[in-house]
Amino acid sequence: MLSDFTLKPEIILYVLDLTGTFVFAISGMITAAQKKFDLFGATVIAFVTAIGGGTLRDVLIGSQPVGWMNDLTYIYLIISAVAITLLFKSYIMRLRKTLFLFDTIGIAVFTILGLQKTLGYGLSPVIALLMGTISAVFGGVIRDTLTNEIPLIFREEIYATACLFGGLMYLMSQMLIPSGPLSILIAVLSIIGVRIAAVKFHWSLPKIQ
């Protein structure tokens, strides 16, 4: 019974992680379509967008072979996302609002999982905060670099800031009440809240000039 309860958040996080991966892969496909890539190029961009951030984190902290190599679910899921985008492209384009929601859930979950994994390697909370954010946003950075664009989040974005804020909320709530599930909930809701508010109220960071 107890084990059932303690296992639950892990399963929820795993499912949300897969959801985020799937949605990130679709967003990669949409970028590739705008660049008129062929099927191979588009699939590479789908992969890079979906697992690039976590891969960079794993390489930096020394968790190798990198995470997705030990669970083929991620690879099959990305290939499914590629196929589904090709088959139902016009339908998926109309789902942009839903995709935005899942994308936001995705970065929230990627942040928390990246942060937890880094802490699990005995690294400092400051490093964990950075690695959580890198897990969430560097897939997009690598995608933009490979498609010869300046990464979008370097110019107008509260995206990464939401991850940093949510990660900080996780660490702080962990210090106050040492309950895994509650901290995760607070962090995920913080990230989703900041992200949605940022889009709704056109929040942006000051430009450097």
Q: How far is the CB of 151 from its own copies (least distance, A)?
A: 6
Q: Which stretch binds its own copies (CB under 8 A): 12-20, 93-101, 119-127, 165-173?
A: 119-127
Q: Does 45 bind its own copies (CB under 8 A)?
A: yes
In which element (H, E) is residue 154 found? none
Q: Binding to its own copies by residue 110, rule CB under 8 A?
A: no
How many Cβ atoms sit within 10 Å of the Cβ of residue 22? 20
Helix 180-200 and helix 2-34, axial crossing angle in degrees, nearest 10 = 30
Q: Is 145 in the site for its own copies (CB under 8 A)?
A: yes
Q: Which is nearer to its own copies, 14 or 203 (CB)?
A: 203
Window of 6-14, 124-132, 180-188, 189-197 that interacts with its own copies by CB under 8 A:
124-132
Q: Which is nearer to its own copies, 8 or 94 (CB)?
A: 94
Nearest Cα to 143, choosing from 75, 62, 43, 2?
A: 43
Distance, in Å, from the CA atom of 128 to the CA atom of 111, rounded to the nearest integer, reads: 9
CB 49 within 8 A of CB 25: yes
Single-letter residue type at 31? T
Place of tokens 């009440």: 177
Q: How far apart are CA 65 and CA 122, in angstroms?
A: 18
| Contact between 29 and its own copies per CB under 8 A | yes
Is 33 a binder of its own copies (CB under 8 A)? yes
- Residue 208 lies near its own copies (rule: CB under 8 A): yes
Q: Which parts of this chain interact with its own copies (CB under 8 A)?
A: 29, 32-33, 35-42, 44-45, 55, 59-62, 64-66, 69, 72, 75, 86, 121, 123-124, 126-127, 130, 141, 145-151, 153-157, 160-161, 204-209
